[in-house]
């Protein structure tokens, strides 16, 4: 599995939002972190990679070029967890999972689907809530259901738009540990838009730092998370060090 993104540009109407986005090829088993301040283009890039938004340039995954195979075939391999959690309706998580899987015509028997849903709910701590109406669940739990809906598709390319924004510290780690394990075991690729730089440093193999729709830096966390990049893009003064567990750590001193 390999994802290539070269010279990707995207527009809303006539306004260009993404400008010639390129980053190093992503191999199976890797998590890519998309970083950048509000409105830098992370969600737009996600939507281009999922095929939801039109784009120009080269987007090639597992030998298929997005702009050649078309959205329908592309979407068979891709699942997105959008920035917004599933709406707080009267549906239960179980009903939502079943209706989504059947609407997507996922090729599982009832028994297989039931087992898969059970496994995902178990991994995400949702088993006790599976028969509760969504509107009775917390924002964090509904965010986890958004992730469960992406997992049920067993995608080769998993796109996560701020997947942990509503989660507490414990669940942030559980979710990203799970994504890491999945991509490593399945050889799939995940791209996650993240605001938390320490989580990005800890879980991502490659970081892509955006500013106003352009790539400012891409590479390993050590290469991208440096004082000058963070001062330029986020207007913050930082000190960067290594935690004793070997992760890059960003100490934010203050706004510039």
Q: Give residues in contact with ligand ATP (CB under 6 A).
A: 12, 17, 36, 38-44
Environment class of residue 14 by beta-carbon count within 10 Å: exposed (0-12), middle (13-18) or buried (19+)?
exposed
Smaller CB separation from ligand ATP, 12 or 112: 12
Q: Angle CA(15)–CA(19)–CA(20) in degrees, nearest 5?
A: 145
Show the tokens assigned to 47.
Answer: 């939507």
**Considering Cα of 92, then 95, then 98, then 99, what sign does the dihedral take?**
negative
Nearer of residues 1 and 17 to ligand ATP, judged by Cβ: 17
Give the nearer residue to ligand ATP in terms of CB position, either 40 or 92. 40
Select 52 or 237, whichever has its Cβ closest to ligand ATP: 52
Nearer to ligand ATP, 11 or 98 (CB): 11
Exposure letters 75-106 (e unless 16+ CB within 10 A, then b)? bebbbbbbbebbeeeebbbbebbbebbeeeee
Q: How far is the CB of 110 from ligand ATP (least distance, A)?
A: 38
Smallest distance from ligand ATP to CB 210, Å = 7
State the minimum distance, in angstroms, from the CB of residue 24 to ligand ATP: 20
**Minimum distance, C-beta of residue 91 to ligand ATP, in the bound complex (Å):** 26
CB of 187 to ligand ATP, least distance (A): 28
Nearest to 30 by CA among 246, 194, 203: 203
Nearer to ligand ATP, 1 or 32 (CB): 32
Please, what is the minimum distance in Å from the beta carbon of residue 43 to ligand ATP?
A: 3
For the bound state, the minimum distance from the C-beta of residue 212 to ligand ATP, rounded and expressed in Å, comes to 8
Q: Identify which of residues 37 and 140 has a Cβ nearer to ligand ATP in the complex.
A: 37
């Amino acid at each position: 599995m390999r994802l290539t993104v070269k010279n990707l540009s995207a527009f809303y109407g006539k306004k260009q939002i993404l400008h010639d986005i390129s980053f190093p090829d992503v191999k199976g088993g890797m998590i890519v972190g998309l970083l950048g301040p509000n409105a830098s283009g992370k969600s737009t890039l996600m939507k281009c990679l999922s095929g939801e938004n039109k784009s120009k340039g080269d987007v090639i995954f597992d030998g298929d070029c997005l702009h050649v195979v078309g959205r329908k075939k592309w979407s068979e391999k891709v699942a997105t967890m959008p920035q917004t959690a599933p709406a707080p309706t009267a549906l239960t998580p179980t009903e939502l999972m079943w209706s989504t899987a059947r609407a997507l015509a996922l090729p599982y028997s009832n028994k297989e689907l039931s087992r898969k849903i059970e496994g995902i709910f178990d991994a995400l701590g949702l088993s006790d809530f599976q028969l509760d109406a969504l509107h009775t669940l917390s924002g964090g739990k509904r965010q986890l259901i958004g992730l469960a809906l992406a997992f049920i598709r067993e995608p080769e390319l998993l796109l996560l738009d701020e997947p942990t924004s509503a989660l507490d510290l414990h669940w942030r780690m559980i979710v990203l540990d799970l994504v890491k394990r999945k991509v490593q075991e399945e050889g799939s690729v995940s791209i996650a838009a993240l605001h938390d730089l320490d989580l990005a440093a800890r879980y991502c193999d490659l970081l892509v730092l955006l500013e106003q729709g352009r790539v400012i830096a891409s590479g390993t966390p050590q290469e991208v998370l440096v004082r000058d990049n963070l001062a330029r893009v986020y207007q913050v003064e930082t000190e960067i060090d290594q935690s004793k567990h070997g992760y890059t750590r960003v100490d934010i001193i203050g706004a510039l």
